[in-house]
Chain A
Amino acid sequence: MKLRIVAAMLVAATFVSVARADVNVGVTLSATGPAASLGIPEKNTVALMPTIIAGQKINYVVLDDASDTTTAVKNARKLVSENKVDVIVGSTTSPNSLAMIDVAAEAETPMISMAASSAIVDPVDARRRWVFKTPQNDVQMSTAIVEHMTNNGIKNVAFIGFADAYGEGWFREFSKVAELRKLKIVASERFNRTDTSVTGQVLKILSSNPDAVLVAGAGTPAALPQTTLKERGYKGRVYQTHGVANNDFLRVGGNSVEGTFLPAGPVLVAAQLPESNPVKKSALEYVNKYETAYGKGSTSTFGAHAWDAGLLLQNAIPVALKKGQPGSKEFRSALRDALEGLKNVTVSHGVVNMSAVDHLGFDQRARVMVKIENGAWKLQ
């Protein structure tokens, strides 16, 4: 008899917790595995997000997908079926995010990705209706690089990128823009994140005699081609992508990355932005918040992408709450509509203006050119 009462209470307790209408935010990111250097600051950032939005309690369920696509999909399924989340934030890498689109669309749950590839939100079709993202597209960044190159009289350029989706995506976008602007790509090489030597690729690049070299890699592994170039006496310009924008890159690259140019989100050089820049305030706010919690010099642009996802939610959830109860289908659909309707939202990486055809919503204000000078990022 006693047992039965206890059981009944337990069942009742479960029902109560389901009926409680908090907003559940499911997060899956790559805190371990090859993309850990991006995933860890994102995870740290999630811990700084507000737990109450518009008087509504927000629960965050954070899962690690170990930079693995299958696990990312499994996490996404778990989040929608077990945790009944109202929105998915994730994942860190493009392959993972691309694979999660189907889950989000099937469960009719909005998803905000923190990965770069434009294929995640473009084109906005029946499935991608549900998907948004916060990092700048590789197209925007390659345009910035090509512009900077042509403005500086560079005629031919060599490309060396990761032998994965990141490098391939960059090569595709970069070569498209380069062709339009009559920039000649004289060599195209690949290397792996874990390679211990890129001498072969670098020698090949040197033999093609380029005015500039573009290294398309993420994080500290992107320093290796540049170090080797320097060792082999290359004197031309080197460009990197926004994938290297964290302080560990400066530490590992040391002297050999001096004078490198790269496009990046404004948050990287938040303190150097002119007062007139609308992004300055929100970027500094994130930097201060992160560094108070995790120490000086610890911010990276990757964590800021997660922060921006949080900012989008803070703007969209109050709107959606008027249309439905959290946990319901109506609420998820209203949240999607609210995200799509966001206008002039200043986040740490730029200003967002979403529309039915643009689920990223960034313009020129979302990127700046940065040069590495005396071991620090310098706004150009």
Chain B
Amino acid sequence: MDLQVALLLGQDGLTNGAIYALLALALVLVFAVTRVVFIPQGEFVAFGALTLASFQADKTPGTLWLLLAAGGLVSLFEVGAALRRRKLGLVAPTLLWNLAYPALAAAIAVLGHPVAWPLAFQVLLSLALVVPLGPMVYRLAFQPLAEASVLVLLIVAVAVHLVLVGLGLLIFGAEGSRTPPFSEASFEIGSIAVNGQTVWVLVASLVLVGSLFVFFDRTLRGKALRATALNRTGARLMGISTVKAGKQAFMLAALIGAFSGVLIAPITTIYYDSGFLIGLKGFVGAIVGGLTSYPIAAAGAVLVGLLESYSSFWASAFKEVIVFTLIIPVLLWRSLKSQDIDEHQ
């Protein structure tokens, strides 16, 4: 291995690592706020990428029907709950978000002819279709169980993952898609060529991490989320709605997932089930951070990306083994070091 190969591998590892880092952050966020180990995180990656690809192939993306159906279900639940509790004032905003908004987005996607739009608008519309699925999934699958144990929530998360993968096969088909890169530009840094998409991935990840930091540190909503993560009961006593916090966490997770999908779709072919493995590598990163620390999780995910890249050069047949074996020493070290894992149980 000469220096050039090492640098190219490093570049590749960083690109994938940046995506894993974003997913690791989303996983830590969801776990901290709702105690859900969010296995279906990867599905949002696939949904985001494939929705964008559908627009470019001039097809109506299947996510549209999924959004309409999920919105309809949520509306039914919410209206039923509102009627039981005789709080009819809640009905209007619920219907607005779960029926009117999906219908509007659907109308735009069907009638607006997005194939002719510039890429940036296609990306925005894809996000607009996929991201609301996050809070809807929370409402349907997790909110009724919000007080259940971590194990129950994990089992539900696995079930949601299987449902979403199945739906993905149904609406997108078995074959994968690729989308054109955000920029065709290519730079020469020293002796190696860096392509535009790599720069896009790195910059977008940094910007997203930065804005998450600002959100959690500087805004009231972000602080409310942090408070919920630290102490649910305490947060409720302070008048923070844990339900709302849960929905916001899932919305952010869906946003991060779908955006990662849009970022990675020009680099590789994405299939309806690609998301799981990408999410799992983000999960390894999140585990390194003990599912609590954002910076360590992000660093762990970048490490996973680099390890993957270099091991694919040295021993490609064992790449996956090497990456996932990383989790064992980390878990050993963490379980020896810390005694306070049960704090949230």
Contact = CB atoms under 8 A, between A and B. Distances in A.
B312 interface: yes
Q: How large is the interface on A (under 10, 10 to 19, 20 to 34, 35 or more residues)?
A: 20 to 34
Contacts of B274: 194, 196
Nearest to B310: A200
Interface in B195-211: 195
B312 A194 contact: no
B55 to A, nearest CB: 15
Contact of B175 (A194, A199, A200, A252): A252
Contacts, number: 97
A190 B314 CA distance: 11
B166 interface: yes
Contact of A203 (B9, B177, B277): B9
Contact of A196 (B169, B264, B273, B313): B264
B9 A194 contact: no
B312 A191 contact: yes
Contact of A197 (B177, B268, B314): B268
Contacts of B268: 195-197, 224
A32 B178 contact: no
A271 interface: no
B91 interface: no
Contact of B313 (A192, A201, A220, A224): A201
A248 B19 CA distance: 26
Given A36-B169, A221-B269, A200 B178 contact: no
B175 A220 contact: yes
A248 B175 contact: yes
Interface string B269-281: 1010110111000
Contact of A194 (B177, B178, B277): B277
Contacts of A196: 16, 19, 264, 267-268, 274, 278
B140 to A, nearest CB: 23
Interface residues of B, number: 37
A310 interface: no
Nearest to B57: A251
Contacts of A192: 277, 319-320
B312 A198 contact: yes
Nearest to B9: A200
A91 interface: no
B273 A194 contact: yes
B163 to A, nearest CB: 13
A203 B12 CA distance: 11
A337 interface: no
Interface string B294-330: 0000000000000011111110110110000000000
A204 B313 CA distance: 6
Contact of A199 (B174, B309, B317): B309
Contacts of A191: 312, 316, 319
A40 B170 CA distance: 11
A151 interface: no
Given A197-B312, A200-B311, A40 B9 contact: no
Contacts of B267: 196-197
Contact of A224 (B15, B175, B269, B309): B269
B243 interface: no
B326 to A, nearest CB: 16
A34 interface: yes
Given A197-B12, A200-B310, A200-B313, A36 B174 contact: yes
Interface string B145-186: 000000000000000000000100100011111100000000
B4 to A, nearest CB: 9
Contacts of B178: 252, 254
Contacts of A32: 166, 169
Nearest to A248: B175
B135 to A, nearest CB: 27
B73 interface: no
Interface in A12-62: 32-34, 36-37, 39-40
Nearest to A198: B312
A174 B177 CA distance: 30
A223 interface: yes
B76 interface: no
Interface in A229-280: 231, 248, 251-252, 254
A152 interface: no
A122 interface: no
Given A196-B278, A199-B12, A220 B312 contact: no
A163 interface: yes
A200 B269 contact: no
Interface string A153-191: 000000010010000000000000000000000000111
A167 to B, nearest CB: 9
B5 interface: yes
Interface string B249-269: 000000000000000100111
A364 interface: no
A163 B166 CA distance: 24
B272 to A, nearest CB: 8
Contacts of B166: 32
A191 B269 CA distance: 14
A227 to B, nearest CB: 8
A190 B12 contact: no
Contacts of B276: 194
B100 interface: no
A199 B320 contact: no
Given A203-B8, A207-B5, A223-B269, A197 B175 contact: no
Contacts of A199: 8-9, 12, 309, 312
12 contacts: A191-B319, A192-B319, A194-B271, A196-B278, A197-B12, A197-B16, A197-B309, A203-B5, A221-B271, A224-B269, A252-B177, A254-B178
Interface of A: 32-34, 36-37, 39-40, 160, 163, 189-192, 194-201, 203-204, 207, 219-221, 223-224, 231, 248, 251-252, 254
Interface of B: 5, 8-9, 12, 15-16, 19, 166, 169, 173-178, 195, 264, 267-269, 271, 273-274, 276-278, 308-314, 316-317, 319-320
Given A37-B174, A200-B311, A254-B178, 4 more contacts: A189-B316, A196-B274, A197-B12, A197-B15
